[in-house]
Amino acid sequence: MEREVKYLLILLILFVSCERIYHPSIDRTEGDLVVDARITNDPAKSFVHLTKTRSFYDQVPLPEVSGARVELLLIGSKTSYVAVEKNTGYYSFNVTPTIGKSYYLRITIGSDIYESLAATMPPQPTMDDFYTIDKVSKVFITNGDGVPQAFEKQGREIDADLPLSDSLSHYRFDVRSIIEWVWDSIPTSFSRFPNAYGWYSYNENQKFNLAGPTDFNQVSKIKNHPLLMISYNALDYLYTDTLTSKGWILIIGQYGTSKESYEFHQKLNSQFAATGSLFDPIQTQVVGNVLCKNDPTKIVYGFFELNSYQEYRYYFELFSPTSEPILKRVYRFPDIPDHGIVRSIQKEPPIRPDWWEE
């Protein structure tokens, strides 16, 4: 028995002594060109952003590529538009692509020439309908022990119906929701003017909001496409119960895009949702549409796309599950800061922001 115990101790020592920390070898891919090129009918939404990849272990931002020659070329003609570098690595064109015309991008960096595949400018997007429906969603909140727990959150989901045609059948959305709130120093006074007006912005940007027909969809429209959901409980958005919600301004940016752009962003969404599974997509599977003409072996990341753009604004006020919410179209398009507050000065009531809706 004593001999068996000695053998067991020897085996345990051998196992412990053989344990090593494994450091995987990761290929270094720094220096590859990254192209983020989005050209629309709205100059404020158009840009070409050029960067280069960095090492996996680097914590610094991606290096910007300055001094490049960036051109937009019209297929079937010798017309070429040269971009201006407005900020380091950011280039813009003083031209709006013509609907139905096809273009491609050319980037010259030193002796290297990069060109994109051709893209066609789609018609301006529209919505068939815009409405809200009652919705219960499941959210996960981490408890005090660090364990996520599932909770149900009730609210209103804002949906849209979208037309499908031969010239436009794929869409992407940017959604920004702005909660308006007021503050009274004496909440029970029922004063005509509050002591402060304020607002916060929330962006639905966990992943790209995409809409397109499925392979088996032969109908003439996309129905019930979800854009965002807003909880009935205003305290999900206000940091204190001394603030009173006065409704929301919803800013919906709708892009008409191509099937190729839609599929590219779908792959990016899959990449963002990767959970460490064996079957997760890897970066090299997200292939863009830009190539190096003089050296096809060079890796290029990113995508060139032409988008038509339309912006919608709505005022939205939510009450309770038993009450019908207010949803009305807004036809003013002022710039609204992400957040802010306007207070009363020397006992004078605060002046409400010009863009305020109610």
Please give the DSSP secondary-structure letter assigned to residue 21. Answer: -
Q: What is the distance of C-alpha 170 from the center of its chain?
A: 16
Count CB neighbours of 230 within 10 A. 22
Distances (CA, A) of 130 to 161, 194, 288, 314: 7, 32, 33, 10
Q: What is residue 273's predicted lDDT score, i.e. its pLDDT? A: 60
If the chain, 358 residues long, is cut into consecutive pieces of 10 residues, what is the mean pLDDT of each piece? 50 50 52 93 93 72 91 94 96 94 96 96 96 85 72 90 94 96 77 87 88 74 94 91 94 96 92 51 68 93 95 95 93 96 86 94
Task: Provide the CB-side half-sphere exposure for 122 (13 A, CA).
Answer: 26
Dihedral sign for Cα atoms in the order 263, 264, 265, 267: positive
Domain boundaries, the chain: 33-123+259-307, 129-256+310-343
3 state SS of 337? coil
Q: What is the distance of C-alpha 192 from the center of its chain?
A: 39
Amino acid at residue number 40: T
